[in-house]
Structure 1
Amino acid sequence: MASTHGAHGILVASNRGPITYQTQDDGSLHAKRGGGGLVSGLSAIGPDADALWVCAALGDGDREAVRRGVGEDGVRMLDIDAEVHADAYNGIANSVLWFVHHMLYQTPLEPVFDAEFRRQWDAYRAYNRAFAEALAEEAAEGASVLVQDYHLCLVPGLLRALRPDLRIGHFSHTPWAPVDYFRMLPDDIRAELLDGMLGADRLAFLTWRWATAFLDCAAEIDPERYRVTPASEASRSVEHLDGAAPARTLVGVHGLGADAEFLRARSHEADVEERIVALREEIGEGRRTIVRVDRTELSKNIVRGMLAYRQLLDDHPEWRERVVHVAFAYPSRQDLAIYRDYTAEVQRVADEINSSYGTPGWTPVVLHVKDDFARSLAAYRLADVALVNPIRDGMNLVAKEVPVVSDEGCVLVLSREAGAYEELGEDAVSVNPYDVVGTARALHEALAMQPGERAERTKRLAAAATALPPAQWFLDQLHALEA
């Protein structure tokens, strides 16, 4: 088998890659580069590392690029059948695994694990197998492979069977479900997920809360096969009692931080300055701002945030005409009906607040739904209060980004269910994301906070938020795996 090994010493696998292609009117392909922690991390290891990023072709432009043999050095796109990808991505990853880990099901009615679910699970398995086979083909002897997220939970186990010589890591960017919620999955599916993940030499999570939830699942659901033990002060391990390779899987934590250097420079470019002027016009002279920036993802809890703002206006009418809720709710997963319905509800509640409380000179909620990064940065700079109230969130980088770029200092109102709470909770105003009255109380406390305390908190929040910037976050995982 050695003769089939590739040449790459470091490999990353993720559903979405660092580049996307669009077909232009003249038939040519236009490439657009992405950002984020993985892109920063891979660039940080340098060109001599023989690194390769394996990702899925997500749209028609990507698939056309694969067919034409167009590509970038260091990236391999997999042209997985579009229906298989849709079933794996929307059917399982986003409609089952995401819902389990974020505890989003309305359990009297869902989930229903029927024959259609089984058909889609077969697609999820095939999708993961395509990644495992590509990685096995491309990896050099003893290479390090970093697999990303809930889309690819089966890859470590599948890849281990194909290439036992590799060092395999998996990073979860989401929470992990507590044992009782994880038990909702059919027994064989639960076992397959745990076996897939524990094919890795090392698993990593954003916080110890999520890592511990995974360890609890392994220990309680299959105690005859897995035993959790301390590995060191910085990590724990799962021993494989059935003799499966590897003999144990290490488990560690890397809390992804904000990229301060990039954010501070980007937030003072000309397009951001233009949007600050436009936002100030929408807000009105001398008014305070409560800012939120989210995708219309069910777990982000945008509707309850708006209801809390309405409660604030009821409980403290002195804030009327003196504060504006600047809400950016960028559409997400609109090919799923439940997400379209949620996006419509966000718009409906914003309209209702504006019609009930608005005056000719004051729009209480300024809602924008078109994704615009420069405008998001402008809002970060203007924010007096940042509202981050997810039901459940692996980390939440908005909570970390706002204090870094805020012009005058910003009070962070933060859900205790966000992963970022572990690092930022001490200097935030914490909320129970389900408690609308409590969140309204927290918004009032934040708006009333004295400038000196606000500035001190912002300084400490920014320091904590940037403790592990994206490039270092990636390198720490790589070094831990190689060690």
Structure 2
Amino acid sequence: MASTHAAEVLVASNRGPVSYQVDEEGSLHARRGGGGLVSGLSAIGPEAGAVWVCAALGDADREAARRYGDGRRLPAEDTGGQRVRMLDIAPDVFADAYNGIANSVLWFVHHMLYQTPLEPVFDAEFRRQWASYEAYNRAFAQALAEEAAEGAAVVVQDYHLTLVPGMLRDLRPDLRIGHFSHTPWAPADYFRMLPDDVAEQVLRGMLGADRLGFLTERWARAFAGCCETLPGGVGDTEIGVHGLGADADFLRERSQRADVSERMAALREEIGAAPDGGPRRAIVRVDRTELSKNIVRGLLAYRRLLEDRPEWRERVVHVAFAYPSRQDLEVYRTYTARVRELAEEINAEYGTPGWKPVLLHVEDDFARSLAAYRIADVALVNPIRDGMNLVAKEVPVVSDAGCALVLSREAGAFAELGEDAVAVNPYDVVGTARALHEALSMPGAERAERTKRLAAAATALPPSQWFLDQLRRLERLNG
């Protein structure tokens, strides 16, 4: 397949660096996003001629993709100067691929979320949705093949696009292809839950890459373990680990702005003072209401703390930001409702006229999240399973006075931060309550010293360097 644009560096991801909204007059308005990939592409400079291929996620995106269709890129004024090609994939195909397979099957497998007596059920509906996942991946592979110059470097992102490397290899064997997984990778015994042909298709799709990247050694080993039954195993594919870090410069600058200071004042007023007039302690969590984040058990552990350690009553507040996620899936709506109910139960059981034990916020507000990071005495990060968990890395970077980190051993970040965190088994509610007491009781000097070490570890590989390291290692292959 001939290249039409000849880009030397390409990135492919489900979500791109820009999204669109339609105003009342029907005009399109672009909104640019951030994150590690945006930082990484900015770091390589405009002379690289990088192109980002992404999917249209909603009706406004699709209108933009159609308006700038036929292989054309989005206007530079919409994308901050980046070259972006947005794919107009049929809404039903996208829904099947994104919700039906990526988020309801692959995400569940890698995070080990299934209630196995009842699920999964790989029936005819699954096979129909799998065909859409194949079509969705094929659309990306074809667009990348059209955009890439001879020998270009292509970095494909995440579980949405596991088939792209193999498909792209068939179309353009000259390319250097990488894939990076932002999630955990399931151990072989759990991964084999997928139908045999589908499991092999995913693995062979990934192995179409020259190089595969993972967030931790644990996830890399799990992938290699899944490949052991394949003839040839991982073959010539190189496997590497790149532990994405927090963007310290951005976080520190952004957390000092006026809107964050305003929200800090509002949070402190909500938290209030202890009966002796001193400040109350704040246990902070900031998460999407994603099943793997384990918010319900976190609330149960906080309730157990108040039950077992009455000395903390009226002296601590749990500031819980639980931002709705994937509310088009029933299981997520049910989970979000349970989070709300449990917070209300704790407040009804333990609250007093001057003390609300749980402050639950569900409206996404980044400035308020940063404000909570700054004032937190304890950060609770207790996922069942997480590829990395950047919240665990961000809190120490912006904490004003030092913050004790209660961290699940099942978070990818634990490999880097575990030594200075208070470790928890995410399923053990009583153990997590004990960890919260230990963190709340930690002397201020020790807390501050641990926070310094945590911040240093958390920022060891900032987003721009994380991307550049992958790109350089990929470009050296077959070079």
For residue 164 of structure 1, the aligned residue among 158, 170, 173 is 173
Q: Are the aligned partners of 1:142 and 1:165 in contact in 2 as well (CA < 8 Å)?
A: yes
Partner residue, 2:473: 480
Q: Are the aligned partners of 1:5 and 1:141 in contact in 2 as well (CA < 8 Å)?
A: no
The amino acid across from 2:450 in the alignment is R
Instruction: Map 1:275-294; keep pairs closer than 5 Å.
Output: 275-285=263-273, 286-294=279-287
Are 2:44 and 1:45 equivalent residues in the alignment? yes
Q: Structure 2: give runs of 5+ residues left out of the alignment.
A: 77-82, 274-278
Alpha-carbon distance in structure 1 between the residues aligned to 2:132 and 2:336? 28
For residue 225 of structure 1, the aligned residue among 212, 226, 232 is 232
Are 2:74 and 1:71 equivalent residues in the alignment? yes
The amino acid across from 2:156 in the alignment is V
Are 2:367 and 1:374 equivalent residues in the alignment? yes
> What secondary structure is seen at the aligned counterpart in 2 of 1:32?
strand
Are 2:397 and 1:404 equivalent residues in the alignment? yes
The Cα of 1:72 is off from its aligned counterpart by 3.0
Partner residue, 1:258: 246
The amino acid across from 2:232 in the alignment is R
Are 2:442 and 1:449 equivalent residues in the alignment? yes
The Cα of 1:71 is off from its aligned counterpart by 1.7
Instruction: Map 1:305-454; keep pairs closer than 5 Å.
Output: 305-454=298-447
Alpha-carbon distance in structure 1 between the residues aligned to 2:395 and 2:466? 19
Alpha-carbon distance in structure 2 between the residues aligned to 1:102 and 1:455? 33
Alpha-carbon distance in structure 2 between the residues aligned to 1:66 and 1:5? 18
The amino acid across from 1:67 in the alignment is R
Partner residue, 2:79: none
Alpha-carbon distance in structure 2 between the residues aligned to 1:72 and 1:22? 15
The Cα of 1:6 is off from its aligned counterpart by 3.0
The Cα of 1:5 is off from its aligned counterpart by 4.9
Alpha-carbon distance in structure 2 between the residues aligned to 1:134 and 1:9? 14
The amino acid across from 2:75 in the alignment is E
The amino acid across from 2:264 in the alignment is I
Partner residue, 1:131: 140
Q: Are the aligned partners of 1:146 and 1:169 in contact in 2 as well (CA < 8 Å)?
A: yes
The Cα of 1:4 is off from its aligned counterpart by 3.8
The amino acid across from 2:37 in the alignment is L
Measured against aligned partners, the alpha-carbon deviations of 1:422-480 in whole angstroms (never above 9, x if no partner) come to 00000000000000000000000000001111011000000000000000000000001
Measured against aligned partners, the alpha-carbon deviations of 1:385-409 in whole angstroms (never above 9, x if no partner) come to 0000000000000000000000010
The amino acid across from 2:121 in the alignment is V
The amino acid across from 1:225 in the alignment is G
The amino acid across from 2:245 in the alignment is G
Alpha-carbon distance in structure 1 between the residues aligned to 2:170 and 2:374? 50
Measured against aligned partners, the alpha-carbon deviations of 1:245-286 in whole angstroms (never above 9, x if no partner) come to xxx000000000000000001001010001001101110021
Measured against aligned partners, the alpha-carbon deviations of 1:20-53 in whole angstroms (never above 9, x if no partner) come to 0101111111100001000000000000001000
Alpha-carbon distance in structure 1 between the residues aligned to 2:449 and 2:460? 17
For residue 302 of structure 1, the aligned residue among 295, 299, 317 is 295
Measured against aligned partners, the alpha-carbon deviations of 1:78-97 in whole angstroms (never above 9, x if no partner) come to 00000000000000000000
The amino acid across from 1:322 in the alignment is R
The Cα of 1:7 is off from its aligned counterpart by 1.3
Alpha-carbon distance in structure 2 between the residues aligned to 1:271 and 1:396? 25
For residue 191 of structure 2, the aligned residue among 177, 182, 188 is 182
Q: Are the aligned partners of 2:3 and 2:149 in contact in 1 as well (CA < 8 Å)?
A: no
Alpha-carbon distance in structure 1 between the residues aligned to 2:158 and 2:456? 27
Q: Structure 1: give runs of 5+ residues left out of the alignment.
A: 227-237, 240-247
> What secondary structure is seen at the aligned counterpart in 2 of 1:464?
helix
Partner residue, 2:123: 114
> TM-score, normalised to structure 1's length?
0.95
Give the aligned CA root-mean-square deviation in angstroms. 0.8
Alpha-carbon distance in structure 1 between the residues aligned to 2:218 and 2:290? 22
Partner residue, 1:245: none
The Cα of 1:318 is off from its aligned counterpart by 0.2
> What secondary structure is seen at the aligned counterpart in 2 of 1:293?
strand
The Cα of 1:342 is off from its aligned counterpart by 0.2
Q: Are the aligned partners of 1:14 and 1:54 in contact in 2 as well (CA < 8 Å)?
A: yes
The amino acid across from 1:292 in the alignment is R
Measured against aligned partners, the alpha-carbon deviations of 1:278-332 in whole angstroms (never above 9, x if no partner) come to 1011100210000000000000000000000000001100000000000000000
Are 2:32 and 1:25 equivalent residues in the alignment? no
Measured against aligned partners, the alpha-carbon deviations of 1:110-154 in whole angstroms (never above 9, x if no partner) come to 000000000000000000000000000000000000000000000
The Cα of 1:66 is off from its aligned counterpart by 1.6
Check 1:396–1:149 CA distance in 2 against 1; reply closer, same or farther (3 A cut): same
For residue 208 of structure 2, the aligned residue among 199, 210, 218 is 199
Measured against aligned partners, the alpha-carbon deviations of 1:219-259 in whole angstroms (never above 9, x if no partner) come to 1x32x232xxxxxxxxxxx22xxxxxxxx000000000000
Alpha-carbon distance in structure 1 between the residues aligned to 2:257 and 2:152? 40
Alpha-carbon distance in structure 1 between the residues aligned to 2:216 and 2:242? 7
